[in-house]
């Protein structure tokens, strides 16, 4: 019985892990499917950007302390509901875009 409970717990926690690709879907409208676009003609291309840099930027936007290229208000709304795990997952996903 313990093995079944442990297996169910592990399976449930795996489902709760953030999916970077799914999270990135809302970013693609401005940044492009592969992060290849300059969002609204203002931002740098994020394709392949270092995950640590993306995490720092997204946390800055979320906190309202970053307003890069005048995108602070827009980006704050985009990341407001993201958890730290979500931010890390999407940053890892962006880092792998080619």
pLDDT of 11 reads 44
Q: Is residue 43 left, alpha or beta, with left meaning phi > 0 and alpha meaning psi from -120 to 50? A: beta
What is the model's pLDDT at position 7? Answer: 42
Q: Is residue 2 part of a domain?
A: no
Q: Is-contact 97 48, C-beta < 8 A?
A: yes
Residue-wise pLDDT tens for the chain (98 aa)? 555 544 444 444 444 568 999 999 999 999 999 999 999 999 999 999 999 999 999 999 999 999 999 999 999 999 999 999 999 999 999 999 99
Distance CA 37, CA 41 (A): 8
Q: What is the number of structural domains in the chain?
A: 1
Q: Which domain CATH number covers 78?
A: 1.10.760.10
Is residue 12 one of the residues assigned to a domain?
no
User: Is residue 25 a part of any domain in this protein?
Assistant: yes
Range(s) of the domain holding residue 41? 18-95
Contact in structure between 30 and 40 (CB atoms under 8 Å): yes
Instruction: Let me know if residue 4 belongs to a domain.
Output: no
Give me the pLDDT at residue 18, please. Answer: 85
Tokens 């693609």 -> residue = 28
């Amino acid at each position: 019985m313990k093995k079944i409970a442990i297996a169910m717990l592990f399976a449930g926690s795996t489902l709760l892990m953030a999916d970077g690709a799914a999270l990135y879907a809302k970013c693609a409208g401005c940044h492009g499917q592969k992060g290849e676009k300059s969002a609204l003609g203002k931002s740098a291309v994020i394709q392949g950007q270092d995950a640590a840099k993306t995490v720092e930027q997204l946390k800055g936007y979320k906190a309202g302390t970053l307003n890069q290229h005048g995108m602070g208000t827009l980006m704050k709304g985009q990341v407001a509901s993201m958890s730290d795990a979500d931010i890390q997952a999407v940053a890892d996903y962006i880092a792998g875009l080619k």
